[in-house]
Amino acid sequence: MSSDVEGGEAERIRARLLSLEAERLVLLTRLGELENSPRAVGTCQPETPAAHAATVTTASPASEKIALFRRLFAGRTDVFPLRWENRRTGRGGYAPACSNEWARNLCGKPQVKCGDCPNQAFLPVSDEVVADSDEVAHLFRNERARHSEMMSPTVPT
């Protein structure tokens, strides 16, 4: 196969992937609206892709960037994970963000796992938490993340 033919095919594949991703985002947004809406599914009017065609750029306001990130990486909203690492052993992992973490007489770490703790006070995901994460920091010009621990949403099982 010639290089020109392969190049054209590669370009068609890239265009198709972009189209599929745009459709995926529209469907995910609509699904979120349906799942969070008190209206019956049968009464919802289908939306056109043009309704979601607004582009978020580096010049967009922070609120639009955060909203985009939360749509793309939707997961549980009642809790989010924090990255931890033991510098001595090199072990690391994730634990739910908890307002009682390491609080005397409330937190049983390391003997009690967070999921088994009777004093759980998990923190919900908020726009501030998303804005402060390293994953979103690159979206904001000249803004630094304050919480580098947040890595990804916790997806329900």
Q: Whole-angstrom Cα distance, residue 92 to residue 102?
A: 17
Q: Is the pLDDT of residue 73 over 80?
A: no
Shared domain check, 85 and 19: no
Looking at 15, 32, 53, the residue that finishes a domain is 53
Q: Is the pLDDT of residue 154 over 80?
A: no
Q: Note whether 81 and 156 are within 8 A (CB).
A: no
Shared domain check, 98 and 29: no
pLDDT, position 44: 44
Shared domain check, 78 and 140: yes
Q: Which domain holds residue 35?
A: 3-53
Q: Is the pLDDT of residue 108 over 60?
A: yes
Query: pTM of the entire structure?
Result: 0.48
Shared domain check, 74 and 136: yes
pLDDT, position 51: 45
Shared domain check, 91 and 39: no
pLDDT, position 71: 83
The lowest-confidence range among 9-18, 63-72, 145-154 is 145-154
Q: Is the pLDDT of residue 43 over 80?
A: no
pLDDT, position 122: 93
Shared domain check, 65 and 49: no
Strand 92-96 versus strand 81-85 pairing type: antiparallel
Shared domain check, 108 and 68: yes
| Side-chain-side CA neighbours of residue 78 (13 Å) | 4
Q: Tell me what the pLDDT averaged over the chain comes to.
A: 74
Mean pLDDT of 121-125: 91
The lowest-confidence range among 30-39, 67-76, 81-90, 119-128 is 30-39
Number of domains observed in the structure of the chain: 2
Higher pLDDT, 51 or 128: 128
Q: Is the pLDDT of residue 105 over 90?
A: yes
